[in-house]
C-alpha cells in the first residue's frame, strides 16, 4: 500500500502538548481518510513538528446504494427537491411499488483527492489546549505554522490551507542552528528520517529519551554517581531538544547544606536539570543538563552558564530556608485561618482542627500513640504558610518534616508530617510508621467525607478534588500495612467533622432550607463513603487482573468495612469457585436461585427457609436437608472465626446431595405442600450460600 507522510512544522511547541497532539493527529487522519486508511498511522513529535506516517490504499470504490424518494404522484416540487439533494436527474429514478427510488452508483475514491479535500478542515479544526493566531489570518495553531509536508507514495499532495496561505509540499527543515533554515525535499519516511538525522534532528521522541537517559547515566557513572530517576522530567526534556547532548555541571559546595529534595525541586522546576546522587543516596555536587547543540568547546561554556544560573536559584532557595527556620512550625498556623480550603468546607485552619480530632480517633485503631498523632495532625499543614512552600508547592509536607525536626519535634511527628500526603501515585511508597499512617488516613478520609458531604462527588467526566486518588491511597495504606481497620469507625468522625464546619457555611450562603430536608441533613453518609472506597477497590483489583467480581460477591453478601478481611474472604472464594466442587455447586446455586426467582414472582412472595421434615419424602431431599443441617452451622462458625477457607470447604460438602436432588426430585410437584417444602429447601440452600457471598455477582 502507498505510504502517506504528513508533517506540520512550526515554531517551538510546548513539550507537555506534543505527545497528545501527535495522538490526536493520528486519530484525526484515521477518521478523515476512512475508508482508504484502516489502521492508525504512527505519530512523531518534537519541539518544532508533529508528524504521522502510515499506509493508505491508493483508491477504493464505494458500494452503490438506493435512496427512497417521494411517493408516486407526489408534487413536482417534492420530487425536484429530492433530486437536487442527491444531485440526480429524473432519468435516474425508478418506480418501486408506491415510491420513486434513486439508484446511486458507487464512486471511486482516489487517495490523493481525499487527502487534499480532508486535511484542510482537519487542520483548521485541530484542538490544542492553547492556540494562537498571527498575521491577518483567522487560522489558529499552537505556535505559528511555517510548513506543511504531505507526501503520498513519493509525490507531494498539494493543498492550500485556505486563508492562511500555506500550500503543502514535500519540503521540511532540519535543526534551526546547526543546519540552518534551508529546506530539503522528502520522498518517503526513510528519506524524512535520514534527512533530519543528517541535519541534527532525531524525529523519534523515544529515541531522544533513550539518548538522554543513557548519556547522563554514562556521564554520572564515570564519576561514581547515579541519576535520580525522573521519568516525567526525561519526557519533558526530550520534548525540548531535537539533538540531545548530555553534559554535567557542578553545584557550589556552599549550597550542599540545603535539603536534597529542595535542591532537586529547584533544579527540576526552574531549570529542567537532572539531579545526581551517590550510591548511598547522598546528594552529589553534580547535576546533568541536556544541550540542543553540539558545543565546540565540549560543553564548558554551556555548563559554566548553567552553573551561574543554578547558583542564583539556590541562593533564592536558601533565603526561604533560613527565613522559615527563624520561627517554629506551629507559629505558621494562624496564617492558615486566612487561607480558604474550600468555600463550603471553610479554611485550612478549620481543616487542621478536623485532622486533629480525626487522627486522635484513628490512632488507637492503627496502633499509634494518640498524643503524637494529634500533634502531627496539628502541624501537618503548617508548612503551607511557609515561604518555601509558597515558592515550591511541590515541597509541601517535605519542608514541614525538616522544620519539625529543626524545632525539636518528636521524630515520629516529623515523619508523619512528611509522609501524610503519600502515596502520591502508583509508584509512591505508603507510610508505614503508625503515627504517619494515622495522619495519612485522617487526611484522606477528611478529604473524602468533606467533599462528599457538600456534593462535590467525582463524576464520570471529572474528579477535580482527586477523591479517587484519596480512596486508592486509603486502600493501599490498609493493604500494604495489613491493617485490621474497621473503616466505618474512622469514616464516622470524618463525616461528623465535615458536617460541623460545612453546615454553617451552607446555611449562610443559601439558607437553612438547603442545609436540611425532610429526610435530614443532606450530604453523604458514612456508608456512601465506604461504598465509594469499596468500588475503588474493585477497580484496583480489576487493574491488577484479579477477580474483582469475587470482591463484589463477598461485599454484597455481608458489607464489610475491614478491607483485609474482605480480601481474605475473596481469596477463599476464588479458590472455592475455581475448584471442581465449587464450580459445580455454583452452577447448582444459580439453578436454585433461578427456580426461586421464577416461583417467587409467580406466588408474589419470598419462600421461608424452613422445611417440614415429615414432608421430605424422597431420599435425595432428605439427604440435602441433612447436609444443610451439618454444613450451615459449620460454615457460620468458621466465618465467625475468619476461617474462610474452612467455611468454603464446609459448603463444598453440599455438592453431591445438591446434584442428586436436582437429578431425581421434581421441585414443582403437583402436591402444593410438597412443592412449598421443596422450594423452602432450595431457599435454605440459597440463604446458606448467600451468607458467605452474593454468588449472583460472580461472572461466568
In a domain, 562, yes or no: no
User: Are residues 573 and 495 part of one domain?
Assistant: no
In-domain check, residue 11: yes
pLDDT of 541: 83
pLDDT at residue 520, as a whole number: 38
- Confirm whether 553 is domain-assigned: no
- The CATH number linked to 637 is 1.10.730.10
Output the domain CATH number for residue 488.
1.10.3210
How many CB atoms neighbour CB 159 within 10 A?
A: 20
CB 295 within 8 A of CB 260: no
Within a domain: 552: no
Distance CA 124, CA 161 (A): 8
Cell digits of residue 351: 481543616
Answer yes or no: do 618 and 649 share one domain.
yes
Residues 360 and 317 in one domain: no
**For residue 398, is it within any domain?**
yes
C-alpha separations of 587 from 44, 98, 598, 659 in Å? 52, 56, 17, 10
Amino acid 42: pLDDT: 97
Residue 555 domain-assigned?
Answer: no
pLDDT of residue 511: 37
**Contact call for residues 417 and 384 (beta carbons, < 8 A):** no
- Asked if residue 408 and residue 357 are part of one domain, the reply reads yes
183, 210: one domain: no
What pLDDT does 517 receive? 34
- Terminal-residue alpha carbon distance, the chain: 43
- Are residues 350 and 424 part of one domain? yes
Cα radius of gyration (the chain): 35
State the residue range of the domain holding 238. Answer: 205-324
On whether both 133 and 218 belong to a single domain, the answer is no
Q: What one-character DSSP code corresponds to residue 42?
A: E
Nine-digit cell string for 249? 555541571
Residue 100 half-sphere exposure, CB side, CA atoms within 13 Å? 20
The domain tally of the chain equals 5
- The CA distances from residue 459 to 129, 280, 452, 464, 475, in Å, are 22, 45, 12, 9, 20
As a whole number of angstroms, the distance between CA 265 and CA 274 comes to: 10
> Do 305 and 433 have their domain in common?
no
Domain boundary (175, 198, 221) is at: 198
Output the pLDDT for position 696: 78
Q: Is 222 found in the same domain as 298?
A: yes
Among 183, 198, 213, the domain boundary falls at 198
**Predicted pLDDT at 217:** 97
Residue 450 is assigned to a structural domain of this protein: yes
Tell whether 193 and 312 lie within a shared domain: no
pLDDT digits (tens, 9 = 90+) for 299-322: 999 999 999 999 999 999 999 999
Say yes or no: 150 and 250 in one domain: no
C-alpha angle with apex 99: 93 to 105, nearest 5 degrees? Answer: 35
What does the angle CA 547 – CA 551 – CA 556 come to, to the nearest 5 degrees? Answer: 140
Same structural domain for residues 49 and 69? no
Low-confidence ranges of the chain (pLDDT < 50): 508-523
In a domain, 559, yes or no: no
Q: Which of 198, 225, 241 is the last residue of a domain?
A: 198
Asked, as a colleague might, if the bond just before 423 is cis with ω within 30 of 0, I would say: yes
Q: At what angle do helices 580-603 and 644-652 cross, to 10 degrees?
A: 70
Amino acid at each position: 500500500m502507498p505510504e502517506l507522510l504528513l508533517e506540520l512544522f512550526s515554531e517551538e511547541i510546548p513539550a507537555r502538548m506534543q505527545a497528545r497532539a501527535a495522538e490526536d493527529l493520528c486519530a484525526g487522519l484515521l477518521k478523515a481518510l476512512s475508508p482508504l486508511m484502516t489502521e492508525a498511522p504512527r505519530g512523531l513529535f518534537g519541539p518544532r513538528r508533529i508528524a504521522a506516517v502510515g499506509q493508505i490504499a491508493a483508491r477504493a470504490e464505494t458500494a452503490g446504494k438506493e435512496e427512497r424518494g417521494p411517493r408516486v404522484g407526489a408534487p413536482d416540487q417534492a420530487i425536484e427537491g429530492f433530486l437536487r439533494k442527491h444531485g440526480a436527474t429524473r432519468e435516474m429514478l425508478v418506480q418501486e411499488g408506491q415510491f420513486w427510488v434513486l439508484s446511486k452508483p458507487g464512486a471511486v475514491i482516489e487517495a490523493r483527492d481525499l487527502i487534499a479535500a480532508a486535511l484542510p478542515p482537519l487542520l483548521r479544526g485541530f484542538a490544542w489546549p492553547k492556540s494562537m493566531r498571527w498575521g491577518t489570518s483567522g487560522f489558529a495553531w499552537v505556535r505559528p505554522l511555517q510548513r506543511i509536508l504531505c507526501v503520498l507514495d513519493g509525490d507531494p499532495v498539494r493543498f492550500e490551507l485556505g486563508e492562511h496561505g500555506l500550500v503543502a509540499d514535500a519540503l521540511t527543515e532540519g535543526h534551526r542552528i546547526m543546519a540552518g533554515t534551508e529546506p530539503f525535499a522528502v520522498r518517503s519516511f526513510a528519506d524524512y528520517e535520514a534527512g533530519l538525522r543528517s541535519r541534527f534532528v532525531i524525529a523519534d521522541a523515544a529515541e531522544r529519551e533513550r539518548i538522554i537517559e543513557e548519556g547522563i547515566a554514562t556521564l554520572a557513572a564515570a564519576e561514581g554517581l547515579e541519576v535520580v530517576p525522573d521519568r516525567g522530567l526525561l519526557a519533558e526534556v526530550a520534548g525540548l531538544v531535537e539533538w540531545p547532548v548530555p553534559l554535567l555541571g557542578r553545584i557550589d559546595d556552599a549550597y550542599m547544606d540545603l535539603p536534597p529534595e529542595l535542591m532537586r525541586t529547584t533544579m527540576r522546576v526552574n531549570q529542567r536539570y537532572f539531579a545526581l546522587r551517590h550510591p548511598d543516596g547522598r546528594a552529589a555536587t553534580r547535576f546533568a543538563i541536556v544541550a540542543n547543540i553540539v558545543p565546540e568547546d565540549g560543553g564548558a561554556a554551556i555548563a559554566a552558564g548553567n552553573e551561574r544560573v543554578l547558583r542564583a536559584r539556590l541562593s533564592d532557595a536558601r533565603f526561604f530556608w533560613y527565613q522559615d527556620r527563624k520561627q517554629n512550625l506551629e507559629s505558621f498556623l494562624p496564617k492558615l485561618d486566612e487561607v480558604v480550603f474550600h468555600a463550603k468546607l471553610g479554611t485550612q485552619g478549620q481543616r487542621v482542627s478536623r485532622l486533629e480530632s480525626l487522627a486522635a480517633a484513628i490512632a488507637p485503631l492503627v496502633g499509634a500513640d494518640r498524643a503524637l498523632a494529634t500533634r502531627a495532625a496539628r502541624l501537618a499543614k503548617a508548612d503551607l504558610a511557609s515561604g518555601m512552600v509558597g515558592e515550591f508547592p511541590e515541597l509541601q509536607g517535605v519542608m514541614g518534616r525538616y522544620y519539625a525536626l529543626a524545632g525539636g519535634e518528636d521524630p515520629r511527628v516529623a515523619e508523619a508530617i512528611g509522609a501524610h500526603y503519600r502515596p502520591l501515585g502508583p509508584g509512591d511508597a505508603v507510610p508505614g510508621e503508625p503515627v504517619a499512617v494515622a495522619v495519612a488516613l485522617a487526611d484522606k478520609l477528611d478529604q473524602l467525607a468533606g467533599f462528599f458531604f457538600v456534593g462535590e462527588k467525582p463524576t464520570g467526566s471529572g474528579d477535580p478534588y482527586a477523591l479517587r486518588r484519596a480512596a486508592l491511597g486509603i486502600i493501599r495504606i490498609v493493604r500494604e500495612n495489613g491493617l485490621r481497620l474497621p473503616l466505618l469507625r474512622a469514616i464516622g468522625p470524618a463525616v461528623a467533622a465535615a458536617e460541623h464546619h460545612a453546615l454553617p457555611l451552607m446555611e449562610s450562603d443559601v439558607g437553612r432550607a438547603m442545609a436540611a430536608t425532610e429526610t435530614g441533613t443532606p450530604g453523604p453518609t458514612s456508608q456512601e463513603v465506604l461504598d465509594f472506597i469499596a468500588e475503588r477497590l474493585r477497580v484496583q483489583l480489576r487493574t491488577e487482573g484479579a477477580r474483582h467480581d469475587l470482591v463484589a460477591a463477598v461485599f454484597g453478601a455481608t458489607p464489610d468495612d475491614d478491607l483485609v478481611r474482605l480480601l481474605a474472604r475473596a481469596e477463599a472464594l476464588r479458590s472455592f469457585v475455581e475448584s471442581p466442587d465449587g464450580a459445580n455447586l455454583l452452577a447448582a446455586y444459580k439453578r436454585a436461585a433461578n427456580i426461586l426467582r421464577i416461583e417467587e414472582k409467580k406466588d408474589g412472595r419470598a419462600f421461608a427457609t424452613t422445611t417440614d421434615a415429615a414432608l421430605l419424602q424422597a431420599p435425595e431431599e432428605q439427604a440435602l436437608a441433612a447436609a444443610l443441617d451439618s454444613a450451615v452451622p459449620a460454615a457460620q462458625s468458621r466465618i465467625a472465626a475468619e476461617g474462610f477457607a474452612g467455611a468454603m470447604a464446609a459448603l463444598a460438602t453440599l455438592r453431591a446431595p445438591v446434584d442428586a436432588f436436582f437429578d431425581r426430585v421434581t421441585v414443582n410437584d403437583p402436591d402444593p405442600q410438597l412443592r412449598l417444602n421443596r422450594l423452602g429447601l432450595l431457599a435454605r440452600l440459597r440463604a446458606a450460600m448467600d451468607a458467605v457471598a452474593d454468588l449472583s455477582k460472580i461472572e461466568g
